[in-house]
Amino acid sequence: MTKIAIIEDDPVIHQMYRMKFEAAGFEVQLAGDGEQGVALVESFQPDIILLDVQMPHKNGVEALTEIRDAEWGKSIPVIILTNLGPEEAPKQLKSLGIHSYIVKAAVTPSQVVDKVKQALAAH
């Protein structure tokens, strides 16, 4: 079963994506902030990560930097899922090797599942 880590501070959003990805056959684990997200990725070793940018304790850039600095996190595909437009996104994201950038308000949950499947197929 393909494993996905969803690192998102809005409980309504991450529960919605949990249901959508579980229905699509994924094993899903959730983290409510960047600090929990780093620990989750290390222990869960997901096949892909959905990562929000604006979160408490560690934002998405800080969490992804920590993930990429660890040997276990260097090659996991990461999709940024945020409400920040690409022009508002922190510049460091590109250098941290993200697969793609999705604005939550511009896509449906089904489209996010499709993008994750595409990223996994390309990886």
Look at residue 45 in the predicted model and tell me its pLDDT.
96
Mean pLDDT by 10 residues, the chain (123 residues): 96 93 98 96 97 91 94 93 74 79 91 95 87
Look at residue 89 in the predicted model and tell me its pLDDT.
66
Look at residue 97 in the predicted model and tell me its pLDDT.
84
Look at residue 94 in the predicted model and tell me its pLDDT.
74
CATH of the domain at 108: 3.40.50.2300
Q: Quick one: tokens of 108?
A: 């449906």
pTM score of the predicted model: 0.94
Look at residue 83 in the predicted model and tell me its pLDDT.
84
CA 95, 12, 87, 36: dihedral to nearest 10 degrees? Answer: -30
The 3-class SS string of the chain reads CCEEEEECCCHHHHHHHHHHHHHCCCEEEEECCHHHHHHHHHHHCCCEEEECCCCCCCCHHHHHHHHHHCHHHCCCCEEEEECCCHHHCCCHHHHCCCCEEEEHHHCCHHHHHHHHHHHHHHC
Range(s) of the domain holding residue 45: 3-122
Number of domains in the chain: 1
